[in-house]
Amino acid sequence: MPERTTPALISLAVALSVTACSSTFSSDSDTKQDTSARQHLKVLIASSGDAETKAVKDAADAWATKTGNTVTVDVAKDINQQLAQSFSGNKPPDVFYVDSSQFANYAKSGSLYAYGSQITDSDDFSEQLRSSFTYENQLVCLPKDTSTLALVINRRLWQGAGLTEKDHPLNWDDLAGVSQKLTKGDVTGLVINGEYARIGVFLKESGGWITSPDQREMTADTKENARALSYVQSLLKSGSLKYASQVDTNWGGEALGKGRAAMTIEGNWLAGGMKADYPDVQYDVVPLPEGPEGKGTLAFSQCWGVAQDSAHRSAAVDLVKHFTSAEQQLRNADAFGVMPSRLSAQRAYAERYPAARAWAAASQYAQGPVTLPGFDKVLNQFNTDLAALSGADPSRILADLQRNGEQALAKGE
């Protein structure tokens, strides 16, 4: 799931600020490269569990056997904090996960080695994913996988309300109607996390978004976005939509699994969570209902970062090529349910996992996250405001987001 704000992010921001000022990683010549026949690489990941850890280690071992190099894969307890410490100490791992929410901070500080130009088939990754990891017109790192949002339905509760596949909501009016019908007793029709990483789908479906496509201008305070927040607010006020915290759960998947939500809006990571925690709960995944301006969903990803300060950059890029091959991405999908970031592998993934087709198809029109240096603070405030949306003025929330975003852009953070 997309990361929440933690004290570690504050430490990260401080460390990156120091790094940027010192220009430690400013050019390829700054770090002497190891040209020995056998090299040892260190990889740092933020794992979702044992299955992901094993898949990454198996892939690293296969590459090591092929190349004669060695690889150590470490699992971070708090990857943002550990990366911040390693960058500030000039001893980062060679290869590591980079979340899209933090990518621009790392890129601006000079911590990342931009290897995208060395990838001859980079167009096999969608334009949206590539743009999420592009900085100053350079593709810096390759997305390791991707996730989109879809509507997930608890089949038992759906059928118990007398609904069939023909009743799957196709538009906002449909969604409001079935949400109300499914809300009864301890069951809420629709439960989501109260944050921009979920509510943002309604902005897109209303024809709005937070920034312009090139992220050079704020576009938050618009009638399209106001229409979207007003719609969400109407569902909240009716009681047919609640945030996960309001039903004593941490996220939509938990609410769905515990039977407190008949529907939720979640990404394909839900499949692994349901299999592990609620294996007996049957559910269906369908496209999100269209809004006034058509389809909309959000995409999330992480990339494989290579440290500018690594003495093994050439070997590290070769390892990333192995990690991001279509074959390895499909192995990862089998191992821990992640959706491939390569378009060619996504087609095979959708055929192999028919239940995930709605998530895979959504990649064609998904909106990527805002990836601007320092913008995480703006989005944190937006999330705080969205948490109180039911009793707030949507126009005021958007005006504040517009102002905060413009200030961040003006500072060039």
Q: Are residues 130 and 192 in the same domain?
A: no
CATH number at residue 22: 3.40.190.10
Q: How many domains does the chain have?
A: 2
Q: How far is C-alpha 313 from the geometric centre of its chain's CA atoms?
A: 26
Tell me whether residue 154 is in a domain: yes
Separation between Cα atoms, residue 136 and residue 104, nearest integer Å? 10
Q: Please calculate the CA angle 38-62-69 and round it to the nearest 5 degrees.
A: 5
Q: Are strands 188-192 and 261-267 parallel, antiparallel or unpaired?
A: parallel
Q: Are residues 17 and 97 in the same domain?
A: yes
Q: Are residues 307 and 404 in the same domain?
A: no
Tell me whether residue 364 is in a domain: no
Residues 6+ apart with CB under 8 A from 357: 285, 350
* Predicted pLDDT of residue 23: 35
Q: Are residues 117 and 255 in the same domain?
A: no
Q: Are residues 350 and 397 in the same domain?
A: no
CB 81 within 8 A of CB 131: no
CB 87 within 8 A of CB 79: no
Q: Are residues 171 and 259 in the same domain?
A: yes
Q: Are residues 295 and 387 in the same domain?
A: yes
Q: Are residues 246 and 220 in the same domain?
A: yes
- Nearest CA among 45, 27, 140, 34 for reference residue 83: 45
Helices (DSSP H) in 196-307: which residue ranges?
A: 196-205, 223-238, 252-257, 270-277
Q: Are residues 257 and 201 in the same domain?
A: yes
Q: Which residue range(s) make up the domain with 243?
A: 147-299+374-411
Separation between Cα atoms, residue 41 and residue 56, nearest integer Å? 14
Question: pTM here?
Answer: 0.85
Tell me whether residue 240 is in a domain: yes
Tell me whether residue 251 is in a domain: yes
CA distance from start to end of the chain: 25
Tell me whether residue 366 is in a domain: no
Q: How many helices (H) and strands (E) does the chain have?
A: 17, 13
Please count the other Cβ atoms lying within 10 Å of the Cβ belonging to residue 137.
Answer: 5
Q: Are residues 213 and 72 in the same domain?
A: no
* Predicted pLDDT of residue 272: 82
Q: Are residues 264 and 324 in the same domain?
A: no
Q: Are residues 129 and 216 in the same domain?
A: no
Tell me whether residue 369 is in a domain: no
Separation between Cα atoms, residue 372 and residue 408, nearest integer Å? 9
Tell me whether residue 316 is in a domain: yes
Separation between Cα atoms, residue 221 and residue 219, nearest integer Å? 6
CB 264 within 8 A of CB 214: no
* Predicted pLDDT of residue 37: 79
Rg (CA), the chain: 22
Span 358-388, pLDDT tens digits: 999 999 899 999 988 889 899 999 999 999 9
E strand or H helix at 380, and its extent? helix 376-387
**Residue-level pLDDT, tens digit, the chain, 413 residues:** 444 333 333 333 434 343 343 333 344 546 889 877 799 999 999 998 898 999 999 999 999 999 999 999 999 999 989 998 999 999 999 999 999 888 998 999 999 999 999 999 999 998 889 999 999 999 999 999 999 999 999 999 999 999 999 999 999 999 999 999 999 999 999 999 999 999 999 999 999 999 999 999 999 999 999 999 999 999 999 999 999 999 999 999 999 999 999 999 999 989 888 988 999 999 999 999 999 999 999 999 999 999 999 999 999 999 999 999 999 999 999 988 899 999 999 999 999 999 999 999 999 899 999 988 889 899 999 999 999 999 999 999 999 999 999 999 998 65
Kindly state the DSSP code that residue 268 receives in the 8-state scheme.
T
Structure tokens at 172: 């906002």
Beta bridge partners of 304: 97, 142
Residue found under tokens 């047919």: 240
* Predicted pLDDT of residue 398: 98
* Predicted pLDDT of residue 32: 86
* Predicted pLDDT of residue 258: 98
Separation between Cα atoms, residue 122 and residue 114, nearest integer Å? 13
Separation between Cα atoms, residue 358 and residue 285, nearest integer Å? 6
Tell me whether residue 162 is in a domain: yes
Please count the other Cβ atoms lying within 10 Å of the Cβ belonging to residue 24.
Answer: 18
